[in-house]
């Protein structure tokens, strides 16, 4: 099924069930007022939401027109957002650009940071930027939402706790990252509010494209209206979403509504080296930092600037028939 949260002026919005073609919706208030409320009692709510989804598909209930621009992020605020780095190619490029090795442990022990979750951006909201020197970048990713996950869960059991999937723009301030990482406490100011896709879906919506807790479809990232990234989410994934959920739950349980992200989707080139831009027939990049690393490896210095006021990013994913699964994250950077 497909779910969304409409902006009704409240902090947590209104839960609605969306048609498969994401053109219509039916309010789900009578089942749960918000997506968090549904996740808090998922076992009880999910079958009712699924039944409503069938009715929406069969036009057995009155529906209204679904406008992506009226959607919040599925969870407008959440109790947890933790982002992994499953695509080690991204890390390999960062290191290669500065002639450093990737530690062997990175291939079996996921990188993960705790993100801020109190204030997500809606999928069509502007990205507020306080200073162009902060080096604003998008990061195209996928993410899952879990129910309650017990501490110490196995990877196999973690897979069953993945209840919903969505896309993310994990906004990053590259200019602030080196200073923060040098302090040793991880990202904080370098990771302002992220935005999620207008629609989240249960894994069964992906059919064969959901295998072993990995999505096997390309992620479309457009930058200023041009194709920028078409990386296959199913390729070069060192860790599955279930691996990342189990990693997050190693020393503590995870509360219902926890969001776990994949990290920037990143494919190697056909020869195993750095991937080519989309314009040269490659899979391109899901963030600007990556093309800058490739420029640095090739030419000694980067030539593509980070985002500044007026730059736009769009992130979406189509099924095999070319239909949008999650709707489109579409954001413009604005100076504040």
Q: Cα torsion for 16, 197, 130, 174, to the nearest 10°?
A: 150
Q: Give the binding-site size for a copy of itself (rule: CB under 8 A).
A: 52
Q: CB-based contacts of 178: which residues, under 8 Å, 6+ apart? A: none
For residue 95, the minimal CB distance to a copy of itself (Å) is 11
Are 38 and 29 in contact by the 8 Å Cβ rule? The answer is no
Go through 21-38 and write b for each residue having 16 or more CB atoms within 10 A of its CB, e for each that does not.
ebebbbbbeebbbbbbbb
Tell whether residue 175 is a contact of a copy of itself (CB under 8 A): no
Give the nearest distance from C-beta 150 to a copy of itself in angstroms: 10
Q: Cite the beta strand spans of 204-302 per DSSP E.
A: 210-211, 214-215, 220-223, 226-229, 259-261
Nearer to a copy of itself, 192 or 302 (CB): 192
For residue 11, state whether it binds a copy of itself (rule: CB under 8 A). yes
**∠ CA(75), CA(316), CA(196), 5° rounding?**
15
Region from 17-25, 53-61, 77-85, 316-324 binding a copy of itself, contact rule CB under 8 A = 77-85
- Span from 115-123, 209-217, 221-229, 301-309 in contact with a copy of itself (CB under 8 A): 115-123
Question: In angstroms, rounded to a whole number, what is the distance separating the alpha carbons of residues 270 and 268?
Answer: 7
Residue whose CB is less far from a copy of itself, 89 or 117: 117
**Hey, which residues between 221 and 250 contact a copy of itself (CB under 8 A)?**
247-248, 250
Query: In terms of CB distance, is 47 or 186 closer to a copy of itself?
Result: 186
Listed in sequence order, the residues at least 6 apart from 152 whose beta carbon sits closer than 8 Å to its beta carbon are 249, 250
Closer residue to a copy of itself (CB): 23 or 131: 131
118 binds a copy of itself (CB under 8 A): yes
Distances (CA, A) of 79 to 106, 117, 291, 327: 27, 6, 33, 24
Q: Among residues 130 and 207, whose Cβ is nearest to a copy of itself?
A: 130
What is the Cβ-side half-sphere exposure of residue 170, based on CA atoms within 13 angstroms? 31
Minimum gap (Å) between residue 243 Cβ and a copy of itself: 14
What residues have CB less than 8 Å from 255, skipping those under 6 apart?
79, 80, 148
CB nearer a copy of itself, residue 77 or residue 230:
77
Spatial CA neighbour of 141 closest among 285, 254, 320, 295: 285
Closest CB 191 distance from a copy of itself, rounded Å: 8
**Which CB sits closer to a copy of itself, 28 or 136?**
136
How far is residue 105 from each of residues 41, 101, 311, measured CA to CA in Å? 37, 11, 37
What is the rounded distance in angstroms from the CA atom of residue 34 to the CA atom of residue 98?
46
Is residue 295 at the binding interface for a copy of itself, with CB under 8 A as the rule?
Answer: no
181 lines the binding site for a copy of itself (CB under 8 A): yes
- Smallest distance, a copy of itself to C-beta of residue 126, A: 13
Q: How many Å apart are CA 246 and CA 316, to the nearest integer?
A: 27
Interaction mask 20-59, a copy of itself, x per CB under 8 A: --------------------x-------------------
Which positions from 85 to 114 touch a copy of itself by CB under 8 A, shown as an x/- string? x-----------------x-xx--x-xxxx
Task: Tell me whether residue 25 or residue 120 sits nearer to a copy of itself (CB atom).
Answer: 120
133 near a copy of itself, rule: CB under 8 A: no
Residue numbers at the binding site for a copy of itself (CB under 8 A): 11, 40, 77-80, 82, 85, 103, 105-106, 109, 111-119, 128, 130, 134, 151-152, 173, 176, 181, 183-193, 247-248, 250-258, 336
């Amino acid at each position: 099924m497909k779910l969304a949260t409409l902006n009704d002026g409240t902090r947590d919005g209104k839960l609605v069930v969306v048609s498969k073609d994401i053109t219509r919706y039916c309010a789900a208030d009578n089942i749960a007022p918000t997506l968090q409320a549904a996740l808090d009692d998922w076992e009880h709510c999910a079958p009712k939401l699924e039944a409503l989804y069938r009715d929406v598909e069969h036009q057995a209930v009155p529906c209204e027109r679904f406008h992506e621009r009226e959607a919040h992020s599925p969870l407008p605020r959440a109790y947890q957002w933790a982002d992994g780095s499953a695509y080690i190619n991204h890390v390999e490029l960062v290191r290669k650009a500065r002639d450093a090795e990737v530690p062997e442990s990175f291939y079996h022990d996921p990188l993960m940071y705790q993100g801020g979750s109190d204030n997500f951006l809606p999928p069509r909201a502007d990205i507020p930027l306080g200073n162009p020197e902060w080096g604003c970048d998008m990061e195209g990713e996928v993410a899952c939402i879990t129910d309650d996950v017990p501490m110490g869960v196995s990877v196999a059991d973690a897979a069953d706790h993945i209840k919903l999937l969505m896309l993310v723009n994990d906004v990053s301030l590259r200019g602030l990252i080196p200073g923060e990482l040098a302090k040793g406490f991880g990202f904080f100011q370098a990771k302002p509010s992220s935005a999620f896709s207008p629609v989240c879906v249960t894994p069964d919506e992906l059919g064969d494209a959901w295998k072993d807790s990995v999505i096997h479809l390309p992620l479309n990232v457009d930058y200023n209206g041009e194709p920028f990234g078409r990386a296959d989410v199913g390729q070069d994934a060192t860790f599955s979403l279930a691996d990342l959920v189990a990693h997050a739950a190693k020393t503590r349980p995870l509360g219902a509504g926890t969001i776990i992200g994949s990290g920037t989707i990143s494919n190697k080139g056909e020869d195993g080296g750095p991937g080519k831009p989309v314009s040269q027939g490659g899979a391109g990049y899901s963030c600007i930092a990556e093309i800058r690393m490739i420029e640095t490896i090739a030419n000694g210095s980067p030539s593509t600037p980070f985002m500044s006021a007026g730059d736009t990013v769009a992130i979406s994913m189509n099924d095999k028939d070319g239909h949008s699964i999650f709707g489109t994250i579409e954001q413009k950077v604005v100076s504040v």
